[in-house]
């Protein structure tokens, strides 16, 4: 598995990749998914980036849209970074995809001397919370009833990692 940055892709592949990320959003984050336009807009913001977990780098240069195992949409502004969106294709769950994406982001942060990484996670997403804790994240706050779902409100845990 390779982690590549969206801006490394050939221009003709970018639309297909964004469409695939939006598809994963709908699959993994159905109650709160982003569409292609929102993802594309976020990627264009200052300090933002999109990391992709893929099988082969050759496909990125050969004109084929790679199969995306997972993605991480992030933003680094000065000493603080934030994960805005992260998801793993369910067919690749528990294979280290999210951990590899976050580790790659942490490496990018170190390169620009950014030392705080923030994220929000639904309080009922225990697999994600366990991964984040294993990677050194701690809960710094809770937003009560932040996620409004058809089944009711769910808290958002704000977690932070420091280098």
- Name the 3-class secondary structure at 129: helix
pLDDT band per the 50, 70, 90 thresholds, residue 63: low
Closest alpha carbon to 6 in 50, 58, 40, 39: 50
pLDDT in tens, 94-111: 999 999 999 999 999 999
Closest alpha carbon to 144 in 135, 152, 136: 152
pLDDT mean over 41-55: 94
| 54: DSSP letter | E
Strand partners, 118: 82, 160
pLDDT in tens, 123-150: 999 999 999 999 999 999 999 999 988 8
Q: Which residue pairs from 78-81 have beta carbons closer than 8 angstroms and sit at least 24 positions apart in sequence?
A: 78/114, 79/113, 79/114, 79/115, 79/116, 80/114, 80/116, 80/117, 80/118, 81/105, 81/108, 81/109, 81/114, 81/116, 81/117, 81/118
Q: Say what the pTM is.
A: 0.91
pLDDT of residue 153: 94
- Name the 3-class secondary structure at 43: helix
Q: List CB contacts of 121: < 8 A, sequence separation 6 or more.
A: 128, 129, 132, 156, 157, 159
35-49: b (≥16 Cβ within 10 Å) or e: eeeebbebbeeeebb
In order of start, what are the domains of the chain with their CATH numbers?
2-115 (3.40.630.30)
Of all residues in the chain, the percent with pLDDT exceeding 70 is 94
């Amino acid at each position: 598995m390779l982690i590549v940055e969206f801006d490394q892709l050939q221009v003709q592949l970018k639309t297909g990749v964004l469409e695939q990320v939006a598809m994963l959003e709908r699959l993994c984050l159905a109650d709160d998914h982003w569409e292609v336009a929102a993802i594309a807009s976020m990627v264009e913001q200052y300090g933002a980036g999109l990391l992709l977990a893929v099988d082969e780098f050759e496909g990125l240069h050969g004109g084929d849209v790679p199969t995306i195992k997972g993605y991480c949409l992030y933003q680094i502004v000065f000493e603080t970074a934030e994960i805005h969106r992260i998801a793993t294709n369910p067919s690749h769950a528990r294979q280290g995809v999210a951990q590899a994406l976050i580790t790659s982001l942490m490496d990018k942060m170190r390169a620009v001397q950014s030392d705080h990484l923030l994220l929000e996670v639904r309080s009922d997403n225990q697999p994600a919370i366990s991964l984040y804790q294993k990677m050194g994240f701690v809960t710094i706050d809770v937003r009560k009833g932040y996620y409004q779902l058809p089944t009711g409100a769910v808290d958002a845990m704000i977690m932070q990692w420091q280098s």
